[in-house]
C-alpha cells in the first residue's frame, strides 16, 4: 500500500506543467485526514520517465493560433455543428488528419484531440482555445488558474456528474449523501467502495461531504455494473437521461450532484494575454456563439394590426405580457390610397418571441386585433456588447 505522495515519488512521471493529474491508480482510498491512493498493480519503480508535454517548449513563439476540438465521441459532431451554425465551418479534408482550419478565421489551426487531451494541452500551452464538456475541464484542469472559461453554456452535451447507489439492500432507505455518510457500515477496514472514472473530482467531493472511509476503484466505462458485480457500493459517473442508472437498479440521492455540465469554450489565460491576434479571434468566436445561441430560442413574428396611430397600436401590444419583444415592438404604418389621399390604414408589427411562448403570443396578438401572423426563425441576435466579453476582459485584468 502506498500513499499518493509515495506513488508519485516512485513513479517518475513528469507532467510537464500539467497539475499532478494522477497516473490512473487502480485503487484509491480515503482516510480521516487525507484521500490516499492504494495501488494494487503498478510498475512503481519504472525507470522510464514519461514526459507528458514538452516542458520548456517554445510554444509562445509559434504565430498560429490553435483551437482544440473533440476528435470523436459525443461532443465531436455537435461541436462542428455549432461552429457551422455560426458560419465558422471547419474545413477538414480527411477524417484521419488531426489538423484542419476554419476559412473564416485566418491564422487559426484546428486540432482534433480527445477532450481530456484538449484540457491538458491548454494547460501545457500547446493549444490556446478549446471546446469540451465542463466535467472534463474540472476533472483534468483541477482548478488550474491558467484555464479560463470563455463561454460557459454552449447548450449541448448536457449532463451531470452524480453519485449513485443501489436502490436495494442496505441502501434501500438511504436518500441523501448525509444519510450515506452517517451509515455505521463504513469503517477503516470496510470502507464505502466507489467506482469512478473521475479520480480527481470523486475523492474531492466525498471528502468535502464528510465521508471518511472510502475506497475508490476506476474503470473506463460501464461503471453502472460495478455494484451488481459486487465490485463497488456506489459510483460517481455522468448521467443525462438517467436510463443507465435505472436499468442497473441504481439511484441518485439528495446532495449527490458533483457538477452540472454542458459544452464550454475555454482558453489559456497566458495565451490570451501573450499571443498576438488571439484576443481578437476569441472575441469574434464569442460574439458569433452568443448571437447564435440567443437567437436559438426565439422566433420573429410579423403581424398586421388596425389602429389609429403607431402609439395606440404600441400601447395595445405592450399591454400583453408575451408581446414586448427584445426591446419593444417595431411598428410601421402600411399606407393605402383612399378618397382622402394616402393614409395609414393599418400597422405592421415585428417582435421577437420566445419559442416556448409562440402560441400564447399568437393568441394575445389575435385578442388585440392582430391578423396575418407570419412566423420565421431567427438566425442571430447581435447585442451591443456581450456580457461574457466584458467578464473575460475583467478576468484578464484588461
Ligand atoms: N450521458 C453522457 N455520458 C457521458 N458523457 C456525456 C453524456 N452526455 C453528455 N456528455 C458529455 O460528453 C463527454 C464525453 O463524451 P465521450 O464519452 O464521447 O468522450 P470521451 O472523452 O472520448 O470519452 P472516453 O475517452 O471515455 O471514450 C462528457 O465529458 C460530457 O461532457
Ligand atoms: O443517463 P444516461 O443517458 O443513461 O447516460 C449515462 C451513461 O452514458 C455514459 O456512458 P457511455 O455511453 O459513454 O458508455 P461508457 O460508460 O461505457 O463509456 C455514462 O458513462 C453513463 O454510463
Ligand atoms: Mg464515454
Question: 65 with 107: CB under 8 angstroms?
Answer: yes
Q: What is the pLDDT of residues 172-201, one digit of tens each?
A: 999 999 999 999 999 999 999 999 999 999
**H or E element: which one contains 295?**
helix 278-296
244 in ligand 2 pocket by Cβ < 6 Å? yes
- What is the Cα–Cα distance from 51 to 67, expressed in whole angstroms? 22
Q: Of ligand 1's atoms, which has the minimum distance to the CA of residue 263?
A: 31
pLDDT at residue 32 in the model? 34
Question: 365 with 303: CB under 8 angstroms?
Answer: yes
How far, rounded to the nearest angstrom, does the alpha carbon of residue 58 sit from its chain's CA centroid?
Answer: 30
Find the range with the poorest average confidence among 15-24, 148-157, 301-310: 15-24
Confidence label for 52 from pLDDT (cuts 50, 70 and 90): low
C-alpha cell at 179: 444519510
User: Could you tell which of 238, 240, 252 is best to mutate to test the pocket of ligand 1, judged by most ligand atoms within 8 Å of the CB?
Assistant: 238
pLDDT at residue 60 in the model? 54
**What spacing in Å lies between the alpha carbon of 320 and ligand 1's midpoint?**
43
- What is the Cα–Cα distance from 207 to 37, expressed in whole angstroms? 14
Find the range with the poorest average confidence among 134-143, 254-263, 327-336: 327-336
Q: Whose CA is nearest to atom 18 of ligand 2?
A: 221
Instruction: Identify the sign of the CA torsion 5, 9, 15, 21.
Output: negative
CATH 3.40.190.10 range(s) for the chain read: 4-50+159-261, 53-158+262-294
**What spacing in Å lies between the alpha carbon of 73 and ligand 1's midpoint?**
7
133 in ligand 1 pocket by Cβ < 6 Å? yes
pLDDT at residue 16 in the model? 31
Q: What is the pLDDT of residues 91-126, one digit of tens each?
A: 988 888 899 999 999 999 999 999 999 999 999 999
Residue 224 CA: which ligand is closest?
Answer: 2
User: Which phi and psi (to 5°) does residue 33 adopt?
Assistant: -100, -25
Q: Which CATH class is domain 4-50+159-261?
A: alpha beta
Determine the CATH number of domain 53-158+262-294. 3.40.190.10
pLDDT at residue 198 in the model? 98
For the chain, give the percent of residues with pLDDT over 90.
69
Q: Of ligand 1's atoms, which has the minimum distance to the CA of residue 221?
A: 26
CATH 3.30.70.120 range(s) for the chain read: 297-377
Q: What is the pLDDT of residues 266-285, one digit of tens each?
A: 999 999 999 999 999 999 99
Q: Domain 297-377, what fold?
A: Alpha-Beta Plaits (3.30.70)
240 in ligand 1 pocket by Cβ < 6 Å? yes
For the chain, the average pLDDT equals 86
Looking at per-residue confidence, does 313 or 85 come out higher?
Answer: 85
Amino acid at each position: 500500500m502506498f500513499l499518493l505522495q509515495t506513488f508519485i515519488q516512485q513513479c517518475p512521471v513528469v507532467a510537464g506543467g500539467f497539475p499532478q493529474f494522477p497516473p490512473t491508480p487502480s485503487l484509491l482510498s480515503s482516510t480521516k485526514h487525507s484521500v490516499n491512493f492504494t495501488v494494487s498493480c503498478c510498475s512503481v519503480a519504472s525507470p522510464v520517465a514519461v514526459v507528458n508535454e514538452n516542458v520548456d517548449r517554445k510554444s509562445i513563439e509559434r504565430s498560429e493560433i490553435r483551437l482544440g476540438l473533440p476528435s470523436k465521441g459525443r461532443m465531436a459532431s455537435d461541436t462542428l455543428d455549432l461552429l457551422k451554425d455560426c458560419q465558422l465551418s471547419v474545413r477538414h479534408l480527411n477524417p484521419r488528419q488531426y489538423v484542419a482550419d476554419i476559412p473564416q478565421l485566418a491564422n487559426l489551426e484546428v486540432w482534433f484531440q480527445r477532450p481530456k487531451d484538449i484540457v491538458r494541452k491548454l494547460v501545457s500551452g500547446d493549444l490556446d482555445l478549446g471546446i469540451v464538456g465542463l466535467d472534463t475541464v474540472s476533472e483534468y484542469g483541477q482548478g488550474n488558474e491558467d484555464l479560463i472559461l470563455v463561454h460557459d453554456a454552449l447548450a449541448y452535451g448536457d449532463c451531470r456528474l452524480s453519485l449513485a447507489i443501489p436502490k436495494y439492500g442496505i441502501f434501500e432507505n438511504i436518500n441523501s449523501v448525509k444519510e450515506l455518510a452517517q451509515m455505521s457500515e463504513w469503517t477503516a477496514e470496510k470502507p464505502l467502495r466507489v467506482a469512478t472514472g473521475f479520480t480527481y473530482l470523486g475523492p474531492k467531493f466525498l471528502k468535502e461531504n464528510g465521508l471518511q472511509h472510502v475506497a475508490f476503484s476506476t474503470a473506463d466505462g460501464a461503471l453502472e455494473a460495478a455494484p451488481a458485480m459486487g465490485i463497488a457500493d456506489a459510483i460517481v459517473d455522468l448521467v443525462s437521461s438517467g436510463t443507465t442508472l435505472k436499468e442497473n437498479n441504481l439511484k441518485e440521492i439528495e446532495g449527490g450532484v458533483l457538477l452540472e455540465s454542458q459544452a464550454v469554450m475555454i482558453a489559456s489565460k497566458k495565451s490570451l494575454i501573450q499571443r498576438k491576434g488571439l484576443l481578437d479571434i476569441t472575441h469574434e468566436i464569442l460574439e458569433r456563439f452568443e448571437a447564435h445561441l440567443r437567437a436559438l430560442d426565439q422566433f420573429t413574428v410579423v403581424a398586421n394590426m388596425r389602429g389609429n396611430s403607431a402609439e395606440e397600436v404600441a400601447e395595445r401590444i405592450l399591454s400583453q405580457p408575451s408581446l414586448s419583444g427584445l426591446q419593444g415592438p417595431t411598428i410601421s404604418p402600411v399606407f393605402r390610397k383612399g378618397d382622402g389621399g394616402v393614409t395609414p390604414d393599418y400597422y405592421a408589427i415585428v417582435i421577437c418571441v420566445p419559442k416556448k411562448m409562440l402560441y400564447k403570443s399568437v393568441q394575445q396578438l389575435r385578442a388585440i386585433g392582430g391578423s396575418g401572423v407570419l412566423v420565421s426563425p431567427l438566425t442571430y441576435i447581435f447585442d451591443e456588447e456581450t456580457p461574457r466579453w466584458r467578464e473575460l476582459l475583467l478576468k484578464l485584468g484588461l
